[in-house]
Structure 1
Amino acid sequence: MRHPWSVVGLTALCVAVGIPAPARAATSGPPAQRTATAAARPVVDMEATVLAAQIDPRRADHTLTPGAKNSVLAVEQALQNRNLLDAQWVDGYFGTETVAAYAAYQRSLGYTGLAANGLPGTTSLTKLGQNRYTVGNPIGPGAKVPRDGYVVDARTQAMLAEAQRLLGSALVLEQGSYNPGGDPTSAGTHDGGGVVDVSVAGMTSARRTTVVRALRQVGFAAWVRDPSQGDWPWHIHAAAINDTDLSSQAQHQVGDYHLGMNGLANRGPDDGPQVPIKTWEQYQRGQ
C-alpha cells in the first residue's frame, strides 16, 4: 500500500527522530544536465571541414582555411583521443597528417577505397564525434547515376544541370567519374566521384571560356585543357569542390584551384576565368 507521507513530511519526521533524511527527488537535475551537456558540444561544420581537408594539404604554409578552425580542431581532438593523431597536429589545420589520421580512422570502421580517402563523410564524421560534437551542414555525393554513357554521382549531375541552365545549352561528357585506370593521362583524377571531362567539339575559344566560367560558378574547379599541356585532346576538365568521393589526386586539384593554380602537376598559375570560388552548397544558398 502506498504510504501517504509527502517528501517534505518524511524529511521532517527523519529530522525529528535523528536519522538521515532521504534525498529530495531530482526531477529535473540529470535530464537538465544532459541537455546542458548536449548544448555545450561544439558543432562541426562539415562543409568547412571537408573544404579544409582539400586545401590545407596543398598550402606552402600553415594558413588556416577561413571558417574551418574550430570544426577542424574538434575533429583533430577526437582523432587524438583515439590515438590516431599526435597532439602536435591538433591545431585547426587539416594538413597531410590529419588527412592520414582520418583515413586510418575510416579504415578502422572497415571502410576501403574511396570510403577511406581521408575526406570526412557524414557517417564517419558523426561516429567520430559521438558524445563530443554534433555535425552541421552535412554533405554527400548522392547515388551514382548515368550520364552520356558514363557514371557520375547525383551531386555532380545536379551541378552540370545548373551549369547547362546558365549556358542555355547542353554539355556533353567525354569522361565521367568512378573510372579507375580508364584513362592513364588523367593521373587518377577520375578514379573517384565529382570529376568529369566535357567535350569542346565545335566550340570557339570564347565559348570554351564561357563554359568554364559557368562550371566554376556552380562549384567546379574547372579548366580548359589543350594538347600542349599533356597527351590529350582539347577538353574541359572539371572537379566538383567538396565532393566527398574525390580521389586523392582530384582533392589535390581542388586544393590547388583554391590557391590560384592550374590543377596540373607543374602547379602553374590558374589560366581560367576569375570568378568567386564557391561550393555547390554555397551557390544554392546564394552566397
Structure 2
Amino acid sequence: MKLPSIAAALAAAALLPTLTGASQTPAALAADAKALPSLNMEATVKAAQIDPRRADDTLTPGAKASVLLVERALRDRNLLDAQWVDGYFGTTTIAAYAKYQKSLGYTGLDASGLPGRTSLAKLGAGRFTVTRVVQPGARVSTGGVVVNTRTRDMLAEAERLLGRDLALDQGSYNPGGDPTSAGTHDGGGVVDVSVDGMSAATRTAAARALRRVGFAAWVRSPSQGDWPWHIHAAAISDTDLSGQAQHQTGDYYLGLNGLADRGPDDGPKVTIRTWEEYRLHS
C-alpha cells in the first residue's frame, strides 16, 4: 500500500475542520457574521409601537426589511402563521413575539411583545445580526423618583435645551401608582413633569424641549382628566414601556394626543425623533 505524502496529509488535515464543522478562526466567524443580513432594531421597535395603532396596514417607513426578518424567524418557530409575514408589526406579530419572549422564560415587561436587545439577538442567532441597538439601561433614582439611564439622559438634555431644571411628579416602574395614569407608568421611560410656577408659554416650551430629545410629551390640563396641570412624557422606543405607554407613543407618531379619546395632537409641532436619532443629528 502506498502511503500518502506528507504534503497530502497536511492538506487533508487543513480541510478537516471545514468538512466536520469544527471550530473556525475568529476571522472566519467574523466573515460569517458579515454574511448575515442585519436587522435595524430602531426601525423594528418603531414599527412595533406604531403598526398596532394604525387603522390600516400601512407599513412603517424603513422598517419592512427588519420586520420581515423577525416575522420569518417567528414563523419558523411555529409562532406566527405564514400569512402574517408581511413586514407589518401589527397586533398578531406583537402577540407572537410575546409568546417567543415567554418561551425564553421572560415575564412582565420583558414579555410585552416589544422587541428587546437580548430577545432579538437570541431570535437572530444564525439568521441575522442586530444593529442600531436601543437599550433603556439600568434603573436609577433622580429627583426623588425611579427612571432608567436612557430616560435620565434624555431629561438632562431637555433641561439643557430649555435652560431650566425640571421637577418630576411621578417616575417610571411605578405599578399601582396614580390610578389616573392608566398603567402608563408601570414600565420604564415615562415621567410626569411638574409645571408649578410655569406660565402657559413655559409649559409649551418645556413640552417642546422634551419632544425634541425623543419624548412623546403633552401638557395635560384638569379639563382632560382627574389630574392637576402637568406634562406627561413617554420616551419613544424605550423597550421597557408598558403596553399602555407603547400605545401612547404609537399614537404620537400618528398625530394623536395619547389619551383614550385618541383626539388630535394638541402639543407643539417638532420633527419626531427617538433619543438615538436626536443624538445622531445633534
C-alpha distance in structure 1 between counterparts of 2:5 and 2:12, whole Å: 15
The offset of 1:26, in angstroms, is 3.8
Question: Residue type matched to 2:139 in 1?
Answer: K
C-alpha distance in structure 2 between counterparts of 1:93 and 1:154, whole Å: 30
Q: How does 1:268-287 map to 2 (within 5 A)?
A: 268-286=263-281
1:111 matched to 2:106: yes
TM-score of the aligned structures, taking structure 2 as reference length: 0.91
Q: Structure 2: which 5+ residue stretches go unaligned? A: none
Question: Residue type matched to 1:156 in 2?
Answer: T
Query: 1:188, 1:249 within 8 Å by CA — same for their partners in 2?
Result: yes
- Structure 1 partner of 2:87: 92
- Structure 1 partner of 2:141: 146
Alignment partner of 1:262 out of 254, 257, 265: 257
Q: Structure 1: which 5+ residue stretches go unaligned? A: 11-21
Q: How does 1:64-75 map to 2 (within 5 A)?
A: 64-75=59-70
C-alpha distance in structure 2 between counterparts of 1:153 and 1:167, whole Å: 21
C-alpha distance in structure 1 between counterparts of 2:29 and 2:158, whole Å: 46
Question: Residue type matched to 2:243 in 1?
Answer: S
C-alpha distance in structure 1 between counterparts of 2:165 and 2:90, whole Å: 38
SS in 1 for 2:159: helix
RMSD: 2.1
C-alpha distance in structure 2 between counterparts of 1:142 and 1:37, whole Å: 29
SS in 2 for 1:256: helix
The offset of 1:138, in angstroms, is 1.2
The alignment of Structure 1 onto Structure 2 pairs a total of residues equal to 273
1:59 matched to 2:54: yes
Alignment partner of 1:186 out of 177, 181, 189: 181
Query: 1:7, 1:24 within 8 Å by CA — same for their partners in 2?
Result: no
Q: How does 1:1-287 map to 2 (within 5 A)?
A: 5-7=5-7, 26=15, 37-286=32-281
C-alpha distance in structure 1 between counterparts of 2:184 and 2:30, whole Å: 45
SS in 1 for 2:268: coil
C-alpha distance in structure 1 between counterparts of 2:47 and 2:165, whole Å: 32
SS in 1 for 2:155: helix
More off after superposition, 249-258 vs 116-125: 116-125
Question: Residue type matched to 1:256 in 2?
Answer: D
